[in-house]
A and B are shown apart, each in its own frame.
Chain A
Amino acid sequence: MSEFFSMGGYAFFVWPSYLLALVLLVGLLLTSIRAARTRAALLDRLKAERRAFES
């Protein structure tokens, strides 16, 4: 197992590459999900306000 983590002596170069990939991809995914959700919620609220205004 420790052999796996040492990556034949290249651990310092291999693991940060994969870690950065993880951080970037998960981070972008989460901010995109959040942006889609907050905008959908805001849009629903505006639509409800408009219906209340018109009736």
Chain B
Amino acid sequence: MHRFANPARFLRIASALFPWVSVLCALSLAAGLWFALAASPADYQQGDSVRIMYVHVPAAWMGMFCYSAMALFSAVALIWKHPLADLLARATAPIGAAFTFLCLVSGSLWGRPMWGTWWAWDARLTSMLILLFLYLGYMALADAFDDPERGRKSAAILALVGFVNVPVIKWSVDWWNTLHQPASVIKRGGPAIDSSMLLPLLLMAIGFQLYYVVVLILRVRAEIAEAKIRTLRLAAIHAAGGDDSP
């Protein structure tokens, strides 16, 4: 893994992958939308409102996946002090926050007709809301210090501490009585969902996952350029005989 931690090498590999991942992402989302909106049946109980699931469930998966990735990158950044790991964690945060927000709003839009309420303070919904706040706190903290090093370190610790929330989200429907239904795809004994509905769900999930890779590459590219800009500016101050001590 060490070999890929070099920013220059990362940029080379990322640039080679970028067009392929972008095309695959567009294709899977297009196919996913076709099946989700047109070529899949309405539910026998929920009617066409079940189509919200093809946005809501993959968004929820991505919210948890991005947070796990962010915590993992943060751990690597803290333990081995890899600059690239830190950039990856920071680039992941806004993507995860967007998916978590999408999950909450689409869940609310699904809850209104099916449960009769936009929102309930039950375990699954509340822990997902906490996940959104963790993302927002992480992003605020990472930029809150004049010394970027301190901000990065504090944010990485927050990401690690907050990871405890991810298993709570996953098993909240089993540990507490909630309004939210239990898992029906990732569970023991295989998915309890018909293949006509599983197909759009998986296509959308793959599309979202590839979207994550596309935006991650773009954001890490920007972060690496930003770090170089900072270095060049510091060097310019030194060359001009300036004093950059605080």
**B-contacting residues of A (Cβ < 8 Å)?**
4, 7-10, 13-14, 16-18, 20-21, 24-25, 28-29, 32-33, 35-36, 39-40, 42-43, 46-47, 49-50, 53
**Is B225 within 8 A of A36, CB to CB?**
yes
The one of A17, A28, A42 that contacts B106, using a Cβ cutoff of 8 Å: A17
A36 touches B218 (CB 8 A): yes
Could you say which of B46-54, B131-139, B161-169, B172-180 contacts chain A? B46-54
| The residue from B51, B113, B215 contacting A29, defined by CB atoms under 8 A apart | B215
Q: Does B101 count as interface, using CB distance less than 8 angstroms? A: yes
The distance in angstroms between the C-alpha atoms of A16 and B113, with both chains bound, is 14
Q: Does B236 contact A (CB under 8 A)?
A: yes
Instruction: Give the residues in chain B near A4, CB-CB below 8 Å.
Output: 37-38
Distance A16 CA – B101 CA, assembled complex (angstroms)? 13
User: Quick check: is B102 within 8 A (CB to CB) of the other chain?
Assistant: yes
B187 interface residue per 8 A CB criterion: no
In the complex, what residues of A have CB within 8 A of residue B239's CB?
A: 53
Considering only CB atoms, which chain A residue lies closest to B220 in the complex? Answer: A36
CA of A7 to CA of B46 in the docked complex: distance in angstroms?
11
